[in-house]
A and B are shown apart, each in its own frame.
Chain A
């Protein structure tokens, strides 16, 4: 089974609107971390946001928030007030186990987001 599943083939959003990018994960570990990265057309990977499995509050970083639903094993990224510069590929990733014991990240296949003016 895939560890990280991102099934949306491509997303479109109007500038200034909010958009949700879906991510589901599969792990039997109680301790794990979930990450979102952005990859614009220039190619670099940019860290956006992190959610720990024991964090009770949803993580937020500026216009980014992570809708963490532990029972459903989902970690959706919400981007508010979309900007043209948000057009990029977005990757969800997971680290299983305690960070000190395992630092490996497993990435999903990514979702393409296009922001329309």
Chain B
């Protein structure tokens, strides 16, 4: 079975440019999460969806960040305009609400570098 798929795997962009990160969750999973990992701040949750509806976006840093989930098999995280401090690894994860533990399965991540 395919795991969580993220694209691109690496993104290098200039400050001020728009960046769009993409995620396809595991089929059948009804929760989707976006995380950011940096050396300074560790792994932090940005936003999560349940059945395509945003449930908690309190971790989204500022208005430059937005996330959508138009259907059960696709989500995007957009940064506009990007800044050097957005450089990080962005992970998408999904989980199934029918499992007792709701364990999250992570994608391979997108390494974003903003110059």
Contact = CB atoms under 8 A, between A and B. Distances in A.
Interface of A: 33, 35, 37, 43-47, 50, 52, 91, 95, 99-100, 103-110
Interface of B: 31, 33, 42-45, 48, 50, 55-56, 89, 91, 93, 95, 97, 100-109, 111
Contacts of B100: 52, 99
Given A103-B50, A104-B56, A47 B42 contact: no
A44 B104 contact: no
B25 to A, nearest CB: 13
Nearest to B56: A104
A109 to B, nearest CB: 5
Given A103-B50, A105-B45, A35 B103 contact: yes
Nearest to A107: B43
26 contacts: A33-B102, A43-B111, A44-B108, A44-B109, A45-B91, A45-B93, A45-B106, A47-B103, A47-B104, A47-B106, A50-B101, A91-B43, A95-B102, A99-B97, A100-B97, A103-B31, A103-B48, A103-B50, A103-B55, A103-B102, A106-B45, A107-B43, A107-B44, A108-B42, A109-B42, A110-B42
Contacts of B55: 103
